[in-house]
Structure 1
Amino acid sequence: MKKNSKKKKYYLTICKNKNSYFNYFIKEKYECGLSLKGWEIKSIRSRRTNIHNSYIFIREGNAYIVGVSIRPLYNTSLSSESYKDKRNIQLLLHKKEINYLLGKISREGYSLIALSLILKKSWCKIIIGLAKGKKNIDKRICEKNKEWRITKNRIFKNSFKN
């Protein structure tokens, strides 16, 4: 007889890009690795990073992420010239995935954005999204639906108390 086992969360979320769901429609999500240096992974594990203004571009068959802010630890012996706060970090994706994403970007007008940075087991990975930008009317409709859900939950909560 099989036990009713629940799936455990085996990753740790380092940082999220919360504005991405407000500004974009996310069509697909991909999980990919990062090509990092030693001091960068130490800083990421101590949560000294930000992916808020980052975006992804594809050049010469490789995917890169730009705008990831990784601050070094205080106790590192790095000089100010030996690290860059915001450098192009290569993403580790399969060639088929890169070609598929490149086709979507060039033909259908999608964008690649960073959604969240996670530590999965001992590996640092980033979840990227194939996204289409929202217009102002779409943002207003989403905000209206969110407010209605909150109000509806309050009404139901108060009606069951009586």
Structure 2
Amino acid sequence: MAKKKKSTNTSSTIALNKKARHEYFLEDKFEAGISLQGWEVKSIRQGKVNLSDSYVVLKKGEAYLLGSQIQPLNMASSHVYCDPERTRKLLLKKKELDKLIGATEREGYTLVATAMYWKKCWVKLEFHLGKGKKSHDKRADVKDKDWARQKERLMKHKQR
């Protein structure tokens, strides 16, 4: 008898940055591990993470996450200083870092954090290369969403 394989896909979303798709044209997607402290992992398990207004910065050949907030638990120990907005180092390969440095310095891209999720037992950050949208681009997106919503309503009423 053959043994059944257990599913290895045990990823679940912790936090999303919904504003990112509205504010930026998102292009290439990257995944990075995050260097965290113990209290941060406990807070992430409780879901106390905010990724809105967060972005990735490249300094001295390394990537850092800025603007994300991980709120400490009420029961945190008193001898550990918990800074909810500290910069967190991202774990990337050298080849990926070189690609990101080239895109941000030469082509004017921004690195925008879009999601944080569990991948097996590790916390991963998904971020994209993005270019900022102008106000007329945002209006076009809203117009497309409205038209898609109206189309769904029309199709729903037609089927009845």
| TM-score range normalised by the length of the shorter chain | over 0.9
CA offset digits 1:38-84 (Å, max 9, x no partner): 110110111011111211110111000111111111111135x7121
In structure 1, the residue matched to 2:34 is 34
Amino acid at match of 1:70: I
Instruction: Tell me if 1:155 matches 2:158.
Output: no
Residue 21 of structure 1: how far off its partner (Å): 0.2
Measured in 2, the distance between the counterparts of 1:40 and 1:78 equals 15
SS at match of 1:127: strand
Residue 8 of structure 1: how far off its partner (Å): 8.0
Measured in 2, the distance between the counterparts of 1:73 and 1:19 equals 26
Instruction: Tell me if 1:70 matches 2:70.
Output: yes
Q: Unaligned 5+ residue runs, structure 2?
A: 1-6
Instruction: Tell me if 1:126 matches 2:125.
Output: yes
In structure 1, the residue matched to 2:13 is 13
Measured in 1, the distance between the counterparts of 2:150 and 2:10 equals 34
Which ranges of 4 or more aligned residues in structure 1 deviate by more than 6 Å?
none
Amino acid at match of 1:156: M
Measured in 2, the distance between the counterparts of 1:141 and 1:19 equals 16
CA offset digits 1:79-128 (Å, max 9, x no partner): 5x712111110000001101101100011110001001101111100101
Measured in 2, the distance between the counterparts of 1:42 and 1:27 equals 32
Measured in 2, the distance between the counterparts of 1:92 and 1:149 equals 39
Q: Percent identity?
A: 40
In structure 2, the residue matched to 1:25 is 25
Measured in 2, the distance between the counterparts of 1:8 and 1:77 equals 34
- RMSD (Å) for aligned C-alpha atoms: 1.4
Q: TM-score, normalised by structure 1?
A: 0.91
SS at match of 2:105: helix
Amino acid at match of 1:55: Y
Give the paired residue count. Answer: 154
Amino acid at match of 2:124: K
